Amino acid sequence: MPNYTLKINGESKEVEAVEDMPLLWVIRDLLKMKGTKFGCGQSFCGACTVHLDGNAVRSCSLPISAVGTGEITTIEGLSENGDHPVQKAWVEHIVPQCGYCQSGQIMNAAALLNSNASPSEEEIEQAMAGNLCRCGTYNRIKDAIVTASK
Ligand code: FES
């Protein structure tokens, strides 16, 4: 099996994996970081969202061989102490209900603010539309992103 050197959360990690292994399973099973979640496995739900060079990607559908030298950030590496503006706004608005989808929601929201520091409500809705939440926390998610963007 090939060896890969991943840049993840500011560290360099060596892993051995088949080339089509999804990044999600590399993160969860090989690197033992469980904050990134498996929802659908088919790019539909967003639960597995991480950043690659600051952009949101769906790790369930990204083979490890396609990561290259990109910098991966997971929810564990988004901030040192949970103090990223999006995380603070999530706490302020008490966004999560069951919580399962929330790391993906937060990572997608943080990527949105990386590319657009002051999104309109419409831009927030558009950017977050592909991140599903079965508890229906969508209004609180939108409010939290508005707070984080201030
Ligand atoms: Fe990746 Fe649903 S688990 S999009």
Q: What is the pTM of this model?
A: 0.97
Residue type at position 72: I
Burial zone of 22 (CB within 10 Å; 0-12 exposed, 13-18 middle, 19+ buried): buried
What are residue 22's DSSP bridge partners? 63
Q: Which domains does the chain have, with CATH numbers?
A: 3-77 (3.10.20.30), 85-148 (1.10.150.120)
CB 149 within 8 A of CB 119: yes
- Ligand 1 centre from 109 Cα, in Å? 16
Minimum-distance ligand 1 atom for the alpha carbon of 24: 1
> Residue 147 C-alpha to ligand 1 middle, in angstroms?
26
Residues with CB under 6 A from ligand 1: 38-41, 43-48, 58, 60
Q: What is the ipTM of this complex?
A: 0.97
* pLDDT score of 101 more than 90: yes
Mean pLDDT of 74-86: 97
C-alpha 32 to ligand 1 mean position (Å): 18
The per-residue pLDDT of the chain, averaged, comes to 97
